[in-house]
Structure formats: structure tokens, C-alpha cells
Structure 1
Amino acid sequence: MKLYNYFRSSASFRVRIALELKGLPYEYLPVHLVKGEHKQPGYGAVSPSGLVPTLVNDSGEHLGQSLAIMEYLDETHPRPPLLPADPVGRAKVRALAQLVACEIHPLNNLRVLKYLVRELKLDEERKNAWYRHWVREGLELYERELAQLPSSTYSFGDTPTLADCCLVPQIFNGMRFNTSFDGLTRTMAAYEACMKHPAFQQAQPSSCPDNEA
């Protein structure tokens, strides 16, 4: 398999975690978002939407969108599972994952932040304040959801799930912008448990070949 991705992309990070959790080898193909490589014609042939990540499977099929890719990996390589065995558990984990991927991340991805600066003329501090506000608000919702679940090592249960694959990259990016995580007790406990797991360590940006310190 091949993974077109960018070391700092939250969506790419999610898929790298899933691949590492499942012990699946892949070819790492960097696409530098800040330099605009995702807008070049060559990448357009890989991803019509021009987004990362894109997974190319062994049959040559091109798959986009991190949640879809991770569910594909879970269906084709079911061990270890990223979703619980029961329908209610799967729905709860998907809800947590989508809370990050659909409620927090879209407001703060690179193209949104660029629009705030270039078109709406926000200065750096106001842009960062926007980022911190929406990340913090979203993670407070995540914390409320966890408070309704039984105590566990990770977000849901005692093994990493799709939810953790989404949570950890969001925390990483929140740290870059000095987001406050005070009071997010269960959320940060799940994050810290994940970061002790080898798969999360191997997938993190600092371990990527295109990492820029």
C-alpha cells in the first residue's frame, strides 16, 4: 500500500495510527500542503479533491477521507479491531471520532486558517484565538461524552479505537497553538495512554520522513 500524506496533517496522522495499530506496511509518500503540492496536476491525478491523505491499496484503488480509509482498513484487516463488536459500541466510537473529524477539525484545517488571514485579514493572534476557541469547545464536548461512558484506559474501552486515532492528532495540533486542556481529565488521560502505545509513537509527526523540526 501507498499513503500520500503530510506529516502535520491531522487526517493523515489518523490513518498512520490505524496502519501502525494493525501492523500494516506502507510506502510513505509526502505531499507538502504549505508548499501547495496538493494543488499540483500530478497530485490531482492521485486525488481529484486534492486532499490528503490518499491511500492506494494493493489493487491500485485510490481511497480518500481518513474516516473512510480507516473503516476500509478495519474491514479488510480486522485484527486488531478499531471498532467494538456490538452495534451500540460501534455507534458510540464513531460518534466520538466524528466529533473530532466533523465538528472540530473542519473549522481549523489549513485552508480555513489561510482564508482567515488572506481574505478576512485576521492577524496571527486573532487567527490563533479562532483556532483555540473551536478546538477547546470541541474537546469540552468530547469530555462530556466520555463522562457518560464507563471508566476506561482509552476513549472507549481498554484498547485503542477509531476515536483515539482521531483524538490524538487533534491534541497534537492543539498543543501547537497553545490550546488549554485544563479540566479535560478523561480526554487527556486517554491521550496519555495512547502516547505510551508504540503505534501512536511511530505514527507521530516527529517520526515521519518529511518532518520539519
Structure 2
Amino acid sequence: MANILLVEDDENLAYMLCENLEIEGFEVKHINKGAKALAELEVNLADLLLMDVDLEDNISGFDVAESVRMVYPTLPIIFTTGKTHFKDVERGLKLRYVDYQKKPYGTKELLARINNLLNRVVETNEKRFVFSGFSFNPMEQIVSVDGNEIRIAKTEAAFLRLLCENVNTVVTKEKIVWILWNEEDVYQKEHSLNNLAHKIRKYLEGNPYVDLVTISKVGYKLIDNK
């Protein structure tokens, strides 16, 4: 049966959800802070993320989901929320492979959404980023330069995906550090960032049209010159 990561800061609700879902045959791991979600997925990748939007640790469920989606592009996510404003719903739906469960809700209704989303999500290749003489498949973690394919590491792929989705735009170090490592201290990750940038530049060597530039004290920009 599927494994579910439950992110919920209401301990009573979490206890009830875990109990009911386990009765239905699901394996459930509960954490109460959004900041722990990405780290937990790194250790134990769940089949579905069930997450409260209104978390109390100053990180909303949407923030967590956006970070998760960069690393796990097809992981199903169900938001539980009392929010009904269209802009809130729209933000979540942009992530793909998501559903909403409005509070309060019954177990049968939630189970129907879980099973529906698990059945709907199938492994497909994510879109391929294509530039002049260079392409990148984030799902397969494959970089192709002038026809030569290289499989890159997961963190490198997450970094490159972020750059490709913001081509010709500066991506701040703060955003990169939060999405890749779920941390806020840029200084402690400075060396890791430099290493990642160095590796991506090595992959792009020989391509005169695509370049990765460092914007001093701000971040990085992937430039497509053609």
C-alpha cells in the first residue's frame, strides 16, 4: 500500500488521520513542521504528501510544496485547508499533481481524493528544456550538449531545473538554498553553491550560446544568447 507523509501541526487531527489511514492500509509518517518535509522526503520518499496549508512555523504549505516540486516533479500532493480564496487555490494548482481537501472533512471524502490522485498520477517525462545546442530532461536528470548526453546528480538537476525555469532571470542565492536544502543560511551553503555552479559550467563548456553567470552577492543567471 502507498506511503503517505502527513504534514499537520494539529496533533489531535494528525493522530486521528494516522489512525484512520492506517486502518485503510496506508503507511503514514507524521511531521508537524513544514521545514522538515523536504528533509524527510530525502530520507524516505513518500508516495503522496498530505499537507496542511496553514502551518504555524512561518512556512506555508504552498512554500513547502513549491520546494518539494522542484526536486520531486510528480509527487502527488493534497492540501488540506480552510482557505477558499481563488488566488490561494490557483497557487497550489499551478504545481500539478495536486488536489484540495477543504476543512472540515470526513475520512471517506479524504480517502476518495487520495485514491483518485494516486491512480491519476503516472510517471511521465517532464518537459525537456531546449536551448541552442543544449537540452535538459529534469525527470531523467540528463543534460545533452551537442548530442552528447550526461546523467547528472539529483542536486545538480534540481539546481539546473531552477535556472532553466528562470532563464535570463537572476535566481537569488536565498531561493536556491531554500529549494535545494530547505535552509535559510546562505553563508553555510556558499561553498556548495559554488561547486554546483562550477559543475553546471563544465557541462556547458563548448556551447557559445548558453552560459551560467554569477551575479555578485545576489545569485545566478542562466543566459540563452540566441
The answer to whether the superposition gives a TM-score over 0.5 is no
Greater relative CO, 1 or 2 (CA 8 Å, sep 6+): 1
In terms of fraction of residues, the more strand-rich structure is 2
In terms of fraction of residues, the more helix-rich structure is 1
TM-score (norm 1): 0.30
